[in-house]
Amino acid sequence: MSNDPILFVDADLMSRLLNCAVLRECGFNVLEARSYAEACRLIHEHPYLTALVTSVDLASEAEGFDVARCARATSAHVPVVYLSAVDIQRYVVEGVAGSRFIPRPFDPYQIVRTLDAAAPLAPVRLE
């Protein structure tokens, strides 16, 4: 597993606390953001992300789809996982290519399984 962080974005505090705790328990290095602006700032500060996990509804001016486009502008192949209670058809239309979708409600370990499956797709860091 990479030492580069996963960015977890969700406006809901309880969701962030629970899901990030599970991710950390499973050995992931996790950065947290609650909004599009905060997420994009972290993306620019940490251009090498292992993955992006974002809620679609961020209760702000932008949505998780916008966060994913920001992340892909910095790292074209970063794995993206969307979390949402919205109809999957919206994800099909607005989600970035090669991303994954987990419908709410879900077991937090489903995120871990999805990230493990996406790991071979993560960009290789050349330094």
**Domain CATH code at residue 49:** 3.40.50.2300
Cα 120 to Cα 57: distance, rounded to the nearest angstrom: 27
Cα 9 to Cα 67: distance, rounded to the nearest angstrom: 9
In a domain, 104, yes or no: yes
| Structure-model confidence comparison of residues 59 and 102, the more confident one | 102
In a domain, 122, yes or no: no
pLDDT in tens, 11-41: 999 999 999 999 999 999 999 999 999 999 9
In a domain, 126, yes or no: no
In a domain, 125, yes or no: no
Q: What pTM was computed for the model?
A: 0.91
The answer to whether 104 and 69 are in contact (CB under 8 A) is no
SS3 63: coil
**Measured in whole angstroms, how far is the alpha carbon of residue 124 from the centre of its chain?**
18
Range of the structural domain that residue 86 is part of:
6-117
Report the domain count for the chain: 1
In a domain, 76, yes or no: yes
Cα 37 to Cα 109: distance, rounded to the nearest angstrom: 27
Give the pLDDT band of residue 126 (cuts 50, 70, 90): very low
In a domain, 124, yes or no: no
In a domain, 12, yes or no: yes
Q: For 102-115, what is the mean pLDDT?
A: 95
